[in-house]
Amino acid sequence: MTGVSGKVGLVFVSHSAKIAEGLVELAAQMAAGTALAAAGGTDDGGVGTSFDRVAAAIAAVDSGVGVVVLCDLGSAILTAETAKDFLDDAVRERVVIVDAPLVEGAVAAAVEAEGGGDMAAVVSAARSAIGAFATEDKTSLDGGAAGPPEGYSRSVTIVNRDGLHARPAAEFVKLANTLDAPVTVNGKDARSLLGIMSMGLVKGSTVELVTPSVDGQPAVDSLAELIESGFGES
Amino acid sequence: MTLNTDWAVRWIKGSAAVVSEHRVELITLDREIGDGDHGENLDRGFSAVLPKLDDLPTDASPGDALKLVATTLISTVGGAAGPLYGTAYLKAAGAVAGQAELDGAALVAMLTAARDGIVLRGKAEAGDKTMVDAWTPAVDAAAKGLAAGLDEAAILDAAASAAEAGARATEPLVARKGRASYLGERAIGHRDPGAQSSALLLRVAADAAAGA
């Protein structure tokens, strides 16, 4: 076994070696303790996908818990599926290929894997990238204007310099994942990294944290305090 | 006559030659509606198969030869054609595994398995402007030929002719799979390069049987 023990590993398959390597670099910022492997380009360094590179990348990140493979255009998926078919039965069962936007899906999956999420959670995080940005306008217009009367809500202003960009958003989502109560941020699920990032919340924005039941008050408060803390940024 | 390993090797060598000969034509077709690498990728793949044929054991079956093509194409082609053709040859090899000589029924089973492999991998249907548009008519013609009592060479000839007609028939289609699907109606008037290469490969299979 290779990879990081107990954690789901990730493979990024792209026609371009640079894209795949860049994704590893980007995702590692938020998932430094997760096994990430690039499988980009052909064996001779050209544009395309390589069966051998995909197979090697899967082997390199497989700790036995599972491997999630994200792909770019068409033949990347075909190559990944073919590589999967050639694996031993036991290994094949723990490899899932996710057809989702590559960059957004990779980041969301990496954050989930880093937090110790199991296969289902990492796959779900990667899939959350599908359409995560499609409802952006609608949400910013009417998202979370008023909480349900029987629940609990709290308005908070973003204070850190760069707003809820990737690292703070990841920190926020990690905390939300540890809380029992469901919380929305301007109408978006607080556990959805891409949902949070897609709102483009900058310094000075006000967000409405809402939970449907008063039992969720501690959850809303701890998330509000994290935002007010500025995530350790100036 | 039945089809033996000599036939399979002639087919493979002939495929390498015909892909090399039609390299520019396939690149041009693919450049018009895809990413322009189909001819080059297939040429690289089949060129890589040739030296490996020498390592085939003397008692190798036709299926063994086809499996060698499958694994080599999957590893070396680099574009969508690698997994697609690789899976086709792999399924074809599986359908005739262990048979030293292929009769008409085995031949039809082999062609059917190849087509099903392409469909499984690419999830394309007839009319999507893909390889399937050459393979499905070829399989249908082969099955009809078998039922009509044709010999193996004649079955392959019928399959190749149907594949050629199928490839030509992709010209007026809008692509629904692959890179060409991004082009919408601009793909109309261009022949699908995968259907064209499929027709070429099946014609070589027929020629290899006729020359036996």
Mention every residue, 6+ apart, whose C-beta is less than 8 A from residue B171. B188, B189, B190, B191
A74 contacts on B by Cβ (under 8 Å): 80, 177-179
> According to the model, what pLDDT value does residue A132 have?
63
Quick one: closest CA in A to B180, which residue?
A74
Task: Answer with the one of A79, A100, A127 that is the final residue of a domain.
Answer: A127
Mention every residue, 6+ apart, whose C-beta is less than 8 A from residue B140. B162
CATH number at residue A83: 3.40.50.510
Residue A4 belongs to some domain of the structure: no
A·B CB contacts under 8 A: 49
The model's confidence at residue A99, banded by pLDDT at 50, 70 and 90, is: confident
Residue A3 belongs to some domain of the structure: no
Q: Look at residue A149 and tell me whether its pLDDT is greater than 80.
A: no
List residues of B whose CB lies inside 8 A of any A CB: 37, 41, 74-76, 78-84, 86-87, 121-122, 177-179
Judged by CB atoms closer than 8 Å, whether chains meet at A74 and B83 is answered as no
Mean pLDDT check: name the lowest of A52-56, A134-138, B17-21: A134-138
B78 contacts on A by Cβ (under 8 Å): 42-43, 46, 48-50
Instruction: Give A28-60 pLDDT, tens digit per residue.
Output: 988 999 999 999 998 888 888 999 999 999 999
Whether A162 and A74 map to the same domain: the answer is no
Long-range contacts of B106-110 (CB under 8 A, 24+ apart): B106/B3, B107/B3, B107/B142, B107/B146, B107/B152, B107/B155, B107/B156, B108/B139, B108/B142, B108/B143, B108/B146, B108/B155, B110/B66
Tell me how close the Cα of B165 comes to any Cα of chain A, in angstroms. Answer: 26
Of B37, B177, B178, the CB nearest to A48: B37
Whether A24 and A120 map to the same domain: the answer is yes
Say which CATH architecture domain B5-210 belongs to. Alpha Horseshoe (1.25)
Q: Is the minimum CB–CB distance between A81 and chain B shorter than 8 Å?
A: yes
Helix B5-21 and helix B23-33, axial crossing angle in degrees, nearest 10: 60
Residue A97 belongs to some domain of the structure: yes
The model's confidence at residue B126, banded by pLDDT at 50, 70 and 90, is: very high
Catalytic one of A3, A13, A15, A185: A15
Which among B8, B13, B33 has a CA at the least distance from the CA of B173? B33
Whether A142 and A122 map to the same domain: the answer is no
A71 contacts on B by Cβ (under 8 Å): none
> According to the model, what pLDDT value does residue A195 have?
83
Judged by CB atoms closer than 8 Å, whether chains meet at B86 and A82 is answered as yes
Domain ranges of chain B: 5-210
CATH number at residue A212: 3.30.1340.10
Instruction: Give B24-53 pLDDT, tens digit per residue.
Output: 999 999 998 888 889 999 999 999 999 999
Tell me how close the Cα of A84 comes to any Cα of chain B, in angstroms. Answer: 11
Whether A50 and A146 map to the same domain: the answer is no
Q: Is the minimum CB–CB distance between A49 and chain B shorter than 8 Å?
A: yes
Residue A2 belongs to some domain of the structure: no
Average pLDDT, chain A: 87
Judged by CB atoms closer than 8 Å, whether chains meet at A75 and B82 is answered as yes
Could you give the CA distance from residue A48 to residue A68 in angstroms, rounded to a whole number?
20
Whether A39 and A118 map to the same domain: the answer is yes
- Asked if A15 is an active-site residue, the reply is yes
> According to the model, what pLDDT value does residue A43 have?
85
The model's confidence at residue B105, banded by pLDDT at 50, 70 and 90, is: very high
> According to the model, what pLDDT value does residue A142 have?
43
Q: Look at residue B84 and tell me whether its pLDDT is greater than 50.
A: yes
Quick one: closest CA in B to A55, which residue?
B75
* Domain ranges, residue A79: 9-127
